[in-house]
Structure 1
């Protein structure tokens, strides 16, 4: 199949306060309700947007962007594909063909409106959440622009009935997340090992998400929330139960920890630029997808997110060498395949540094570790 996007994860890189960008607004009621909470949702409007993109020509041709395996995808095609010539579907198709990142601008703003009967009403908290990604910015929420057309499509296609009929399936996806990828455990480990503190987590999932995952950080006054857009939990029949936990934890963890490694990275950006100045050493530039990591900061952060995950595994599976070996091999292998050839050395070096500084936060030994990287 034709590939428009080959990308495993993407960090939305425009994080400012709500007062500056009006991305979000969290009132006292919201903060009280969601302080310390980790929610997993399949949002109704966002799911509609994924379905609409799935039946575009671009979506039908791209199995990285759209998960095209499984019964749910067949249900979507059977129910919605006949509406593929609707004007709004053709418009979405042209937007994604013009710039694949419009996938993020469309789906990422799916929380900015909610259904009330057959109308879309502005969400109280998420005003315009996805404004910038990979250096590209938009100034108008596309959901606002196409609000009437989206409402009409939902009504014409019978989307809300389809969504309601699939609620048991959506609930099973959420249940599997809690079972296979314990977010609370990851959250506690990260806050024990980094200086950054987060108030709330929200995972937005869809059965139609495949390789195009992303995360963002929202802050209003003293309240910070991390939002991650992720596919459902995978269960590989060839893997053991614990190896499946490694697989599924990795997908979530390496999105979450962007928000922890990013702060010290920015603090030591000059040192990182010097240590990773030889791009050809750290990145296989021939590998598709590496263009989304164009500078030493982004390259370092991507290495660090996976290396931090391996440190998490070292602690979680300290009495299970077989599972730990699997985690080590799989992290090194997947990163090499993505175009990051120094993952093994990075993993080994960070683990050695952690053992040398067992009582320090990872932030605290960044300078020593970056200096070591520069000598590789």
Structure 2
């Protein structure tokens, strides 16, 4: 399997089922989280990532789990002696039955917290991963295997491992808080779209490789965006600004799906008409392109990257923006979206014509411009 393919598949398909979650946002929860960004590496979620990583399936999938780090070597040294535990074999069979179980298992870690050596139900997150694409579950797997997970954590001395790596976890969290510009992205999106989000939550793991995804939790009028992301990338061959732009793109094009979605739904009839000739907009030979089966899904993937470029134009100098623009067009073409240059040009034209309009309100004019560019 290829890392890019898995990223496209999981990130896209999870967005298709964001409504299928159960949360309960109390008044105290809303007060504590409104306007806040939290970055966390929760113990239970990390334990579940580790348990999946030491299965034969996990060991054979470096596109799913990052195996090129000292952290991975540390966990193998600590946990590999427990690879034949019954719960590990069970998790391996679940992954072999469907890779979606990666999300169903790790995505429901939020529903419990460690209280000593016991898993205690979380009051706010009830059932946080119920549907991915056409795959649905009715029982939380963390609930199903609660006793086995607790027993494994005790036997494998997970708390010792987590404690020994706490400084490392804290450094990854600090990287996000200090070098990711998430608050800046949030502020720009709220200014440029009609959608308003109350809270951002980033759940990170050093083991995440190609499986980034986002979803939204809604209850009692409170909206929280969840992003599941790997650590920030630090490429020594790239400048500080280049690293910043790379990490910003990874996050921004996850976050802005939550803002692009509503106006796309409002303009679905026009988008369906404009994007119905699929061969015009996608290269069917590209890996993972089947994960965008409808006109709106194709449009939204173009749009999330197009909006990222609008953000860059507002926040970077002209030279940096032009370099980023060329790079994004190349990336999208390689991923199977051959009309990115035309799409971006049309979006820029619509924005220049109405610089003070919310992006939601640009859709009718933008879609008309885009239709003219492709002769429709």
TM-score, scaled to structure 2: 0.95
Indicate yes or no: 2:272 matched with 1:273.
Answer: yes
Q: Measured at CA, do residues 252 and 2 of structure 1 come closer, stay the same or move farther in structure 2, by a change above 3 Å?
A: closer
Output the CA distance in 2 between the equivalents of 1:135 and 1:84. 31
Q: Tell me the secondary structure at the aligned position of residue 104 of structure 2.
A: helix
Question: Which residue does 1:219 correspond to in 2?
Answer: 218
Q: Measured at CA, do residues 254 and 4 of structure 1 come closer, stay the same or move farther in structure 2, by a change above 3 Å?
A: closer
**Contact 1:4/1:100 (8 A) holds in 2:** no
**Contact 1:115/1:121 (8 A) holds in 2:** yes
Structure 1 position 291, deviation (Å): 1.9
Indicate yes or no: 2:191 matched with 1:192.
Answer: yes
**Contact 2:21/2:129 (8 A) holds in 1:** no
Q: Which runs of 4+ in 1 moved over 6 A?
A: 1-4
Output the CA distance in 2 between the equivalents of 1:251 and 1:4. 12
Q: Measured at CA, do residues 149 and 5 of structure 1 come closer, stay the same or move farther in structure 2, by a change above 3 Å?
A: farther
Output the CA distance in 2 between the equivalents of 1:2 and 1:339. 15
Listed as ranges, the matches of 1:109-258 within 5 Å are 109-258=108-257
Structure 1 position 15, deviation (Å): 3.5
Q: Tell me the secondary structure at the aligned position of residue 40 of structure 1.
A: strand
Q: Tell me the secondary structure at the aligned position of residue 78 of structure 1.
A: helix
Q: Tell me the secondary structure at the aligned position of residue 247 of structure 2.
A: helix
Which of 328, 337, 342 matches 1:340? 337
- Between Structure 1 and Structure 2, how many residues are aligned? 370
Question: Which residue does 1:53 correspond to in 2?
Answer: 52
1:115-157 deviation per Cα after TM superposition (whole angstroms, max 9, x unaligned): 1111111111100011112232211111111111111111111
**Contact 1:2/1:62 (8 A) holds in 2:** no
The Cα RMSD (Å) is 1.6
**Contact 1:40/1:204 (8 A) holds in 2:** yes
1:306-354 deviation per Cα after TM superposition (whole angstroms, max 9, x unaligned): 111111000000xx23321332122122222222222222122211211
Can you give the 5+ residue segments of structure 1 that lack an aligned partner in the other structure? Answer: none
Q: Tell me the secondary structure at the aligned position of residue 7 of structure 1.
A: helix
Output the CA distance in 2 between the equivalents of 1:2 and 1:291. 14
Structure 1 range deviating more: 283-292 or 40-49? 283-292
Structure 1 position 13, deviation (Å): 2.4
Output the CA distance in 1 between the equivalents of 2:177 and 2:300. 27
Can you give the 5+ residue segments of structure 2 that lack an aligned partner in the other structure? Answer: none
Question: Which residue does 2:6 correspond to in 1?
Answer: 6
Question: Which residue does 1:43 correspond to in 2?
Answer: 42
TM-score, scaled to structure 1: 0.95
Indicate yes or no: 2:312 matched with 1:313.
Answer: yes
Output the CA distance in 2 between the equivalents of 1:364 and 1:52. 47
Output the CA distance in 1 between the equivalents of 2:327 and 2:318. 14
1:60-113 deviation per Cα after TM superposition (whole angstroms, max 9, x unaligned): 111221111111111111111222221111111121122111111111111110
**Contact 1:243/1:323 (8 A) holds in 2:** no
Question: Which residue does 2:65 correspond to in 1?
Answer: 66
Output the CA distance in 2 between the equivalents of 1:55 and 1:330. 36
Q: Measured at CA, do residues 2 and 348 of structure 1 come closer, stay the same or move farther in structure 2, by a change above 3 Å?
A: closer
Q: Tell me the secondary structure at the aligned position of residue 119 of structure 2.
A: strand
**Contact 2:286/2:335 (8 A) holds in 1:** yes
Question: Which residue does 2:351 correspond to in 1?
Answer: 354
